[in-house]
Amino acid sequence: MIKIEKLHKSYPIGKDSLHVLKGLDLHIKEGEFVSIMGSSGSGKSTLLNIVGLLDNHDEGNYYLNGQKIEKLDEKKAAILRNKFLGFVFQSFNLITYKTAIENVALPLYYQGMGRKERQKVAMQYLEKVGLKDRADHLPSELSGGEKQRVAVARALATNPKVVLADEPTGALDSATSASVMQLLKDINREGMTVFVITHEEDIAEQTDRIVRLKDGVIISDEKVNKKVNA
Ligand SMILES: Nc1ncnc2c1ncn2[C@@H]1O[C@H](COP(=O)(O)OP(=O)(O)OP(=O)(O)O)[C@@H](O)[C@H]1O
């Protein structure tokens, strides 16, 4: 689903450049639930931005759903993002003046879906995340956990191939974060590929595979041994 070979990325800093990703290889198969960990500045967001077609890489290869990603113009990138990817961010990124259902329906609008159908599909996804009765609430009228559930519903609404989540529980307390993780686990169990950035070991351990990044290279890539309660 996501195949990365010898990926490099540098940022220009004045006359110099900062080499952030230094030849990454990563293969995420369809249906996997993968987390990426690493200290601040190790390149996690840089990688997610490239995987999410929000930024270009400099060298190496990136294949998304079998399609080689070359330097993209914004229009092409937006079409591919809308078709293949759903995003969940730490700060929710909901539109403050739109209700929960309008937020979920927005990516469907960009896909050209008609109003009635959008409303119907958005409501189905709100129901899926347990927020049918909050459909007409503005983000300011929702709790942190509810906002993130709306964001997950929005990410799922276009039926993407992969959900990319950047610190999805970073702004939540532990009980709320557990319910958001449960939701990600549920959608993964239904077959969705999920790729999560996290700083928290206990969040990473709830995924199936932990990739650790240090100074722009992968230093470990391990399956998580799930504890089974006797
Ligand atoms: N647009 C940019 N221009 C220049 N430097 C950048 C840019 N974005 C990130 N960097 C630098 O690249 C390095 C990697 O940043 P990145 O955000 O990928 O790290 P991270 O592992 O996600 O960190 P954090 O956990 O703090 O979010 C950092 O040193 C950062 O300062």
Ligand 1 pocket, residue 198 CB under 6 Å:
no
pTM across the whole model? 0.92
Ligand 1 geometric centre to CA of 98 (Å): 31
| Closest atom, ligand 1, to C-alpha of 197 | 22
Domain map (residue ranges) of the chain: 2-223
Tell me the ipTM for this assembly: 0.96
Ligand 1 geometric centre to CA of 37 (Å): 14
Ligand 1 pocket, residue 114 CB under 6 Å:
no
Ligand 1 geometric centre to CA of 44 (Å): 8
- Count of other CB atoms within 10 angstroms of residue 212: 17
Residue 143 has pLDDT above 90, yes or no: yes
Residue 230 has pLDDT above 60, yes or no: no
Nearest-CA residue for atom 7 of ligand 1: 11
pLDDT tens string 97-120: 999 999 999 999 988 999 999 999
Ligand 1 pocket, residue 18 CB under 6 Å:
yes
Ligand 1 geometric centre to CA of 151 (Å): 24
Instruction: Decide if 7 contacts 43 (C-beta within 8 A).
Output: no
Percentage of residues of the chain with pLDDT beyond 90 = 82
Ligand 1 pocket, residue 11 CB under 6 Å:
yes
Backbone angles phi, psi at 95, to 5 degrees: -80, 120
- Taking the C-alpha atoms of residue 120 and residue 135, their distance in angstroms, rounded to an integer, is 12
In whole numbers, what is the pLDDT of the chain averaged over residues?
93
Instruction: Decide if 184 contacts 192 (C-beta within 8 A).
Output: no
2-223 belongs to which homologous superfamily?
A: P-loop containing nucleotide triphosphate hydrolases (3.40.50.300)
Q: What is the pLDDT of residue 226?
A: 75
Lowest-confidence range among 2-6, 35-39, 60-64, 74-78? 74-78
The DSSP code sequence of 67-127 is EE--S--HHHHHHHHHHHEEEEETT----TTS-HHHHHHHHHHHTT--HHHHHHHHHHHHH
Ligand 1 geometric centre to CA of 43 (Å): 6
What b/e sequence results for 23-48 when a residue is b if at least 16 CB atoms lie within 10 Å of its CB, and e otherwise?
Answer: ebebebeeebbbbbbbeeebbbbbbb
Instruction: Decide if 35 contacts 228 (C-beta within 8 A).
Output: no
Nearest-CA residue for atom 25 of ligand 1: 40
Task: Calculate helix-pair angle for 144-157, 100-110, nearest 10 degrees.
Answer: 20
